[in-house]
Amino acid sequence: NIGIKRRLRRFFRRDGRALIFAMDHGFEHGPEDFNEVWEHIKPKIIIRKVVRAGIDGVMMLPGIARIAADELKPDTGLMIKLTSKTNLRPKEDQLLQSPLGFVEDAIKLGADAVAATVYWGSPYEDIMMKQFAEVASIAHDFGLPVVQFAYPRGPYINEKYGKKEDYRVVMYGARAAAEMGADMIKTYWTGSKETFAKVVDAAAGVPVLLSGGAKAKNPLEFLKVVYDVIEAGGAGAVVGRNIFQRENPEPMIKALLRVIHRNEEPEEAAKA
């Protein structure tokens, strides 16, 4: 499918790697995620900053994309996420992501990819599988790549594996995403290069991107994780809080780009 191939290139450089900025937090976590740098709640302001710093792509929900799309460069990849949940729901219902838009909305916004989450192991896994299958089927008809946020989550995962970041279950989710036909997979850090390499293997050639996670206290700490992701064969990272919770996100973005695209050691990249 040539459309899928062409659109994937808007995210991935020739090296097959990408740094994508994530900003769906106002919905998924709530506006309080912006407390650290409140002006970043304004989509145009933060998107302008990340684009200027050289980000490869951005991931947003449809309404924010409509507000901030003007700030993107013609070659900035635009990923529109079509499922989410709020933190306002009862705890157990937070194990379900619901549809909030349609593939056609994303196409109208000029999207280069659409995304949907599956919480593997959740009691609502079945619903999210169907949602992902529907998004993928329609998107693929239009030549649009589909990204799966493949997140193991739920009581059974905790009982059996102790934590959702255990590599055995992260690799299971990545494999399931690949088997469903995802064109990119976004998932958790498993804690080591060796275990993340297993996740990459399980994904059977589908690019695996790190899901950034909570802001690291020390930028170097986060750069080291991303370095290991790349060493493990990962295709890059989708990063939100580690970027927008910094007053000036540029040094972090530039350092991440050096680690991802130039294989620079974290200490070197941080100095530049």
- Residues within the interface to ligand FBP (CB under 6 A): 22, 24-25, 28-29, 149, 211-213, 238-242
Q: How far is the CB of 237 from ligand FBP (least distance, A)?
A: 8
Q: Are 74 and 34 in contact (CB under 8 A)?
A: no
Q: How far is the CB of 2 from ligand FBP (least distance, A)?
A: 28
Q: Within 10 A of 153 (CB to CB), how many other CB atoms are there?
A: 21
Q: How far is the CB of 141 from ligand FBP (least distance, A)?
A: 25
Q: Within 10 A of 232 (CB to CB), how many other CB atoms are there?
A: 20
User: Is-catalytic flag, 198?
Assistant: no
Q: How far apart are CA 26 and CA 164, in angstroms?
A: 23
CA torsion, ordered 27, 110, 129, 241, to nearest 10 deg: -40
Q: How far apart are CA 180 and CA 135, in angstroms?
A: 11
Catalytic residue among 186, 193, 215, 254: 186
Nearer to ligand FBP, 76 or 242 (CB): 242
Pull the structure tokens for residue 13.
């450089």
Nearer to ligand FBP, 98 or 211 (CB): 211
Question: Quick one: 228 exposed, middle or buried, by C-beta within 10 A (0-12, 13-18, 19+)?
Answer: buried
Q: How far is the CB of 236 from ligand FBP (least distance, A)?
A: 12
Nearer to ligand FBP, 92 or 141 (CB): 92
Q: How far is the CB of 1 from ligand FBP (least distance, A)?
A: 26
Q: Are 226 and 213 in contact (CB under 8 A)?
A: no
Q: How far apart are CA 32 and CA 34, in angstroms?
A: 5
Which helix (DSSP H) or strand (DSSP E) does residue 116 occupy? strand 113-120
Closest-approach residue to ligand FBP (CB): 212
Pull the structure tokens for residue 168.
């055995």
Q: What is the DSSP letter of 266?
A: H
Nearer to ligand FBP, 1 or 86 (CB): 86
Nearer to ligand FBP, 64 or 238 (CB): 238
Catalytic residues: 186
